[in-house]
Structure 1
Amino acid sequence: MQIAYRARDITEAHIVAGLLEAHGIETYVGGHYLQGAMGEIGAAGFSNVHVADEDLSRARQLVSEYESSRPATVVSGSDEDRPDFYARWFLLVLAVVGLVLLQLY
């Protein structure tokens, strides 16, 4: 098996896998357990869609059609639109609370 698509997240990997399976290409989605290692923080880049060697060229053709049909991503200048914005604040607050608790005990 070879990687036909490197997804941003597990949801996108399953969308592409469903597309390929709808066209008769058997798929395997890898990276489920790597996603869970990051908890609720949206980990990216760990999910891949694998296909059999003989289906690779057809799968990549379908994937390129899928990518060309996706709408363009809206880019905003605000930091609050970034996915890791809230995770950073959470970690900062957690560190401050930890320091306060260390000082009390």
Structure 2
Amino acid sequence: MQVAYRAHNLIDAHLAKHVLEDAGIPAFVFGENLLGGAGELPLFGVLRVCVPDAALPEADAALRAAGLRDDPADPIPEADPGLLPA
């Protein structure tokens, strides 16, 4: 199994899983049962959507087509030349 998608929350994980299953790719959400293990503390990086090794390229294409694998935007956008700091 290969990690096809790292989810931020449970809804995000199942959204990716359903996108993959609709594309005919078997998918499994790992870490779903660990969410309540830390009590009130949020756990990050626990949820992973995994697919069989051979299906990883197809899974990547399906996630990109669904808009779930977009390249991140520039974290520091260019400043608008008309705006100056106070």
- TM-score normalised to structure 1 length: 0.57
**When the two structures are aligned, how many residues end up with a matched partner?**
70
Q: Secondary structure at the match of 2:6?
A: strand
Partner of 1:7: 7
Q: Which has the higher contact order (CA 8 A, sep 6+)?
A: 2
Corresponding position of 1:53: 53
Identify the structure with the greater helix proportion: 1
What amino acid sits opposite 2:68 in the alignment? Answer: E
Contact 1:10/1:31 (8 A) holds in 2: no
Alignment RMSD (CA, Å): 2.0
- Measure how far apart 1:9 and its partner are: 1.4
- What residue number does 1:64 align with? 64
Indicate if the aligned counterparts of 2:60 and 2:69 stay in contact, CA closer than 8 A: no
Tell whether the 8 Å contact from 1:9 to 1:43 is kept in structure 2 after alignment: no
Instruction: Indicate conservation of the 8 Å contact 2:28/2:50, yes or no.
Output: yes
The 1-side partners of 2:25 and 2:48 are apart by 15
1:62, distance to aligned residue in structure 2 (A): 1.6
In the alignment, structure 1 residue 19 sits paired with structure 2 residue 19: yes
Structure 2 residue runs of 5 or longer lacking an equivalent are 74-86
Distance, in Å, in 2 between the alignment partners of 1:32 and 1:45 is: 11
Identity %: 36
What runs of 5+ residues in structure 1 fail to find an aligned partner? 73-105
Q: CA deviation at 1:41?
A: 4.5
Displacement after TM superposition at 1:35 (Å): 1.0
Q: Deviations over 1:8-60 (max 9, x none)?
A: 11221111000100110001110012211123544332100000111100101
